[in-house]
Structure 1
Amino acid sequence: MTQSSNGPTTLSPARTRFALLALAMGGFGIGATEFVAMGLLPDMAADLLPGLAATSPDAANAAAGWIISAYALGVVVGAPTIAAAAARWPRKRLLLVLLAAFSIGTIASALLPTFPLVLAARFVAALPHGAYFGIASLVAASLMGPGKRARGVALVLSGLTIANVVGVPAITWLGQAAGWRVAYLAVAAIFVATFVAVLLAVPWQAGDPAATMRRQLGAFTRVQVWFALGIGAIGFGGLFAVYSYVAPLATEVTGLDPVLVPVVLIVFGIGMTAGNLVGGRLADWSVRRSMYLFFAVLAAALVLLGLTATNPVGLVAGVLLVGASSAALSPAIQARLMDVAGDAQSIAAALNHSALNIGNSLGAILGGAAIAAGLGYVAPVWIGLLLTAAGSVLAVTSFAVDRMRGRRGIPMPSVTGAMQVVAD
Structure 2
Amino acid sequence: MASSQLHHTASKEAFPVSLLSLTVGAFAIGMTEFVIMGILPNVADDLNVSIASAGQLITMYALGVAVGAPILTVLTHKIPQKKLLLLLMGLFILGNGIAVFAPNYAVLMGARMLTALTHGTFFGVGAVIASRLVRPDKRAAAVSIMMAGLTIANIIGVPLGTFIGQSMGWRASFAAIAIMGIIALVGIIIFIPKQYPDKHSSMVQQITALIKPRLLLFLLIGALGNAGLFAVFTYIAPLLIEITGYAEQSVTWILVLFGIGVTAGNMIGGKLADWKLLPSILGIYLATAIILTVFTLTMYHPVTAVLTIILWGAASFAVMPGMQVRVMNLAQSAPALASTASHSAGNLGNAAGAFIGGLVITHLSLSSLPWVGAVLVSLAFLLGMACYIYERRAAAVSA
Same fold (TM over 0.5): yes
Distance (whole Å) between structure 2 residues aligned to residue 150 and residue 231 of structure 1 = 18
Match of 1:33 in 2: 32
Relative distance call for 1:50 and 1:77 in structure 2 (3 A) is closer
| Aligned partner letter, 1:34 | E
Match of residue 324 from structure 1: 314
Q: Provide, for residues 309-368 of structure 1, a one-character-per-residue CA deviation record: whole Å limited to 9, x for no partner.
A: 343323322321221111111011112112211322221222221121111111122223
- The residue that corresponds to 1:388 in the other structure is 377
Aligned to 1:139: 129
Distance 1:10 1:207 in 2: 20
Is 1:243 matched with 2:233? Answer: yes
Alignment match, 2:21: 22
Find the counterpart in structure 1 of residue 325 from structure 2.
Answer: 335
Aligned residue type for 2:144: A
Secondary structure of 2:196's partner?
A: coil
Aligned counterparts, 1:274-313, within 5 A: 274-313=264-303
TM-score for the superposition, normalised by structure 2: 0.88
The code of the aligned residue for 1:386 comes to V
Query: Structure 2, unaligned stretches of length 5 or more?
Result: none
Aligned pair in 2 of structure 1 residues 251, 232: CA closer, same or farther (>3 Å)? same
Asked whether the 8 Å contact 1:84–1:212 carries over to 2, the reply is no
CA shift at 1:156, angstroms?
0.8
Label 1:29 to 1:302 Cα distance change in 2 as closer, same or farther (>3 A).
Answer: same
Which amino acid is the alignment partner of residue 34 of structure 2? F
RMSD: 3.0
CA displacement, residues 171-209 of structure 1 (integer Å, 9 cap, x when unaligned): 233334444443233222211211111112211113323
Contact 1:24 1:157 in 2 (8 A): yes
Percent identity between matched residues is 39
Q: Who is 1:353 aligned against?
A: 343
- Which blocks of at least 5 consecutive residues in structure 1 are unaligned? 54-59, 411-424
Aligned residues of 1:84 and 1:346 also touching (Cα < 8 A): no
Amino acid across the alignment from 1:284: D
1:399 and 2:398 aligned: no
**Deviations along 1:65-124, whole A, 9 cap, x unmatched?**
543332221111233222223223221111011111112223334543555554443333
Which SS does the other structure have where 1:343 is aligned?
coil
CA shift for structure 1 position 46: 5.9
Per the normalisation by structure 1, the TM-score is 0.83
SS of corresponding position for 2:195:
coil
Residue type matched to 2:18 in 1?
A
Task: Select 1:103's aligned residue among 93, 101, 105.
Answer: 93
Residue 131 of structure 2 contacts residue 143 of structure 2 at CA under 8 Å; is this kept in 1? Answer: yes
Deviations 1:156-179 (A, max 9, x none): 111111222221222233334444
Q: CA deviation at 1:283?
A: 0.6
Do the aligned partners of 1:302 and 1:382 also contact (CA within 8 Å) in 2? Answer: yes
Matching residue of 1:415: none
Change (3 A) 1:143 1:390: same
Which residue of 1 is the match for residue 188 of structure 2?
198
Aligned position for 2:398: 409
1:125 aligned partner = 115
